[in-house]
Amino acid sequence: MAERSRRRQGGRRTVSIRDVAEAAGVSVATVSRALSADSASFHIRPETRQHVLETSAALGYRPNDLARALLQQRTSVIGVVVPDISNPFYPDVVRGIEDVASAAGYRMILCNTDREPDRLNKYLETLVSSRVDGVLIAGGAADTPIDVDIFARYHTKVVVVGRHDVECPSVQLDNVAAGAAITAHLAGLGHRRIALIAGPEGSRTMRDRFEGYRTALREHGLPFDEALVGRGELDEAAGYRVAGELTTMDNPPTGIVTVNDRMAVGALAALHDQGIAVPHQVSVTGFDDVSFASYVRPKLTTVAVPTYRVGTTAAELLISSLRGEVERTTSEPVVLPTEVIIRDSCAPPPA
Amino acid sequence: MAERSRRRQGGRRTVSIRDVAEAAGVSVATVSRALSADSASFHIRPETRQHVLETSAALGYRPNDLARALLQQRTSVIGVVVPDISNPFYPDVVRGIEDVASAAGYRMILCNTDREPDRLNKYLETLVSSRVDGVLIAGGAADTPIDVDIFARYHTKVVVVGRHDVECPSVQLDNVAAGAAITAHLAGLGHRRIALIAGPEGSRTMRDRFEGYRTALREHGLPFDEALVGRGELDEAAGYRVAGELTTMDNPPTGIVTVNDRMAVGALAALHDQGIAVPHQVSVTGFDDVSFASYVRPKLTTVAVPTYRVGTTAAELLISSLRGEVERTTSEPVVLPTEVIIRDSCAPPPA
DNA sequence: TTGTAGGCGTTATCAT
DNA sequence: ATGATAACGCCTACAA
Is pLDDT at B243 greater than 70 in this prediction?
Answer: yes
Partners of B134 in the beta sheet? B78, B157
Is the four-CA dihedral A241, A246, A250, A252 of positive or negative sign? negative
Q: Which amino acid is at A28?
A: V
Rg (CA), chain A: 27
Tell if the CB–CB gap between B91 and A88 is shorter than 8 Å: yes
**B27 CA from D4 C1′ (Å):** 9
In chain A, residues 282-321 whose CB comes closer than 8 Å to chain B = 291-292, 294-297
Give the residue ranges of chain A where pLDDT is below 50: 1-10
Q: Across residues B5-15, what is the average pLDDT? A: 57
Q: Which helix (H) or strand (E) holds A184?
A: helix A175-188
The verdict on B272 touching A (C-beta cutoff 8 Å) is: yes
- Residue A4: the pLDDT is 38
What CA dihedral angle connects A246, A250, A255 and A257, to 10 degrees? Answer: -40
Q: Tell me, which fold does domain B7-63 have in CATH?
A: 434 Repressor (Amino-terminal Domain) (1.10.260)
Is pLDDT at B81 greater than 50 in this prediction?
Answer: yes
Q: What is the nearest CA distance from A236 to chain B, expressed in angstroms?
A: 7
Q: How far is CA A256 from CA A114, A272, B240, in A?
A: 27, 14, 28
CB pairs under 8 A between A and B: 163
Residue A171, classed as helix, strand or coil, is: strand
**CA closest to A264 among chain B residues:** B295
Rg (CA), chain B: 27
**B321 CA from C6 C1′ (Å):** 38
Tell if the CB–CB gap between B91 and A92 is shorter than 8 Å: no
How far is the C-alpha of A278 from the C-alpha of A345, rounded, in Å? Answer: 6
- Residue A11: the pLDDT is 58
- Residue B2: the pLDDT is 33
How far is the C-alpha of A68 from the C-alpha of A129, rounded, in Å? Answer: 16
Query: Cβ(A35)–Cβ(A67) under 8 Å?
Result: no
Q: Which helix (H) or strand (E) holds B80?
A: strand B77-82
- Beta strand pairing status for B302-304 and B339-341? antiparallel
- Residue B330: the pLDDT is 66
Q: How far is CA B3 from CA A347, B8, B25, B64, in A?
A: 77, 10, 19, 22
Tell if the CB–CB gap between A269 and B297 is shorter than 8 Å: yes
Q: What are phi and psi of B137, to 5 degrees?
A: -95, 105
- Residue A1: the pLDDT is 33
Is the four-CA dihedral A83, A84, A88, A93 of positive or negative sign? positive
Q: Which amino acid is at A285?
A: T
- Residue B6: the pLDDT is 39
- Set of chain A residues whose Cβ sits within 8 Å of the Cβ of B242: none
Q: Which helix (H) or strand (E) holds A158?
A: strand A157-161
Tell if the CB–CB gap between A268 and B67 is shorter than 8 Å: no
Partners of A78 in the beta sheet? A108, A134
- Residue A328: the pLDDT is 56
Q: How far is CA B172 from CA A145, B162, B307, B313, in A?
A: 42, 4, 11, 10
Q: What is the nearest CA distance from B113 to chain A, expressed in angstroms?
A: 10
Tell if the CB–CB gap between B91 and A108 is shorter than 8 Å: no
- Residue B222: the pLDDT is 98
- Residue B5: the pLDDT is 38
How far is the C-alpha of A277 from the C-alpha of A345, rounded, in Å? Answer: 10
Q: What is the pLDDT of residues B135-154, one digit of tens each?
A: 999 988 888 888 889 999 99
Q: Count H helices, E strands: chain B?
A: 12, 12
**A33 CA from D12 C1′ (Å):** 10
Quick one: which residue's CA is nearest to D5's C1'?
B29
HSE-up of residue B283 (Cα within 13 Å, Cβ side): 27
Tell if the CB–CB gap between A130 and B65 is shorter than 8 Å: yes
Q: How far is CA B281 from CA A50, B244, B264, B349, in A?
A: 68, 14, 16, 6
- Residue A3: the pLDDT is 38
Is pLDDT at B11 greater than 70 in this prediction?
Answer: no
Following DSSP, what letter does each residue of B319-333 receive, concatenated? Answer: HHHHTT-S-SSPPPP
Residues 6+ apart with CB under 8 A from B246: B195, B197, B228, B230, B252, B253, B256
Tell if the CB–CB gap between B235 and A77 is shorter than 8 Å: no
- Residue A37: the pLDDT is 74
Q: How far is CA A257 from CA A181, A213, A265, A284, in A?
A: 11, 8, 12, 6
Q: Across residues B301-322, what is the average pLDDT? A: 97
- Of B312, B317, B258, B316, the closest CA to residue B290 belongs to B258
- Set of chain B residues whose Cβ sits within 8 Å of the Cβ of A269: 295-297
Confidence of residue B324 (pLDDT cuts 50, 70, 90): confident
The verdict on A103 touching B (C-beta cutoff 8 Å) is: no
Partners of B196 in the beta sheet? B229, B257
CA-based end-to-end distance of chain A: 95
Query: Cβ(A342)–Cβ(A185) under 8 Å?
Result: yes
The verdict on A128 touching B (C-beta cutoff 8 Å) is: yes
Quick one: which residue's CA is nearest to D2's C1'?
B30
Q: How far is CA A85 from CA A92, A178, A330, B292, in A?
A: 9, 23, 28, 17
Q: Across residues B189-198, what is the average pLDDT? A: 98
Rounded to two decimals, what is the model's pTM?
A: 0.93
The verdict on B90 touching A (C-beta cutoff 8 Å) is: yes
- Set of chain A residues whose Cβ sits within 8 Å of the Cβ of B91: 85-88, 90-91
Name the percent of chain B lying above pLDDT 90: 83
Partners of B257 in the beta sheet? B196, B285
Tell if the CB–CB gap between A107 and B109 is shorter than 8 Å: yes
Q: Which amino acid is at B95?
A: R
Q: Measured between CB atoms, which of B87, B131, B296 is closest to A66?
A: B131
How far is the C-alpha of B135 from the C-alpha of A318, rounded, in Å? Answer: 27
Partners of B288 in the beta sheet? B304
Q: What are phi and psi of B226, to 5 degrees?
A: -50, -35
The verdict on A268 touching B (C-beta cutoff 8 Å) is: yes
Q: Where are the domains of chain B?
A: 7-63, 87-351
Residue B134, classed as helix, strand or coil, is: strand
How far is the C-alpha of A253 from the C-alpha of A349, rounded, in Å? Answer: 9
- Residue B327: the pLDDT is 62
Residue A339, classed as helix, strand or coil, is: strand
Is the four-CA dihedral A22, A24, A28, A32 of positive or negative sign? negative
Q: Tell me, which fold does domain A87-351 have in CATH?
A: Rossmann fold (3.40.50)
DSSP conformational letter for B15 = P
The verdict on A218 touching B (C-beta cutoff 8 Å) is: no
Query: Cβ(A111)–Cβ(A81) under 8 Å?
Result: yes
Residues 6+ apart with CB under 8 A from B283: B186, B189, B191, B254, B255, B256, B301, B345, B346, B347, B349
- Of A99, A179, A180, A85, the closest CA to residue A140 belongs to A85
Quick one: which residue's CA is nearest to C2's C1'?
A30
How far is the C-alpha of A198 from the C-alpha of A229, rounded, in Å? Answer: 7
Is the four-CA dihedral B296, B302, B307, B308 of positive or negative sign? positive
- Residue B8: the pLDDT is 36
Q: Which of A244-258, A278-292, B182-196, B321-335 has the lowest mean pLDDT?
A: B321-335
The verdict on B323 touching A (C-beta cutoff 8 Å) is: no
The verdict on A262 touching B (C-beta cutoff 8 Å) is: yes
Q: What share of chain A is helix, strand, coil (3-state, %, to 5)?
A: 45, 15, 40
Residue A128: how many other CB atoms lie within 10 Å: 23
The verdict on B150 touching A (C-beta cutoff 8 Å) is: yes
- Residue A2: the pLDDT is 33
Angle at A95 between CA A89 and CA A97, to 5 degrees: 105
Tell if the CB–CB gap between B60 and A153 is shorter than 8 Å: yes
Residue B174: how many other CB atoms lie within 10 Å: 18
Q: What are phi and psi of B127, to 5 degrees?
A: -65, -40
Name the percent of chain B lying above pLDDT 70: 94
Q: Which amino acid is at A10?
A: G
How far is the C-alpha of B232 from the C-alpha of B241, rounded, in Å? Answer: 9
Tell if the CB–CB gap between B107 and A126 is shorter than 8 Å: yes
Q: Measured between CB atoms, which of B14, B60, B129 is closest to A155?
A: B14
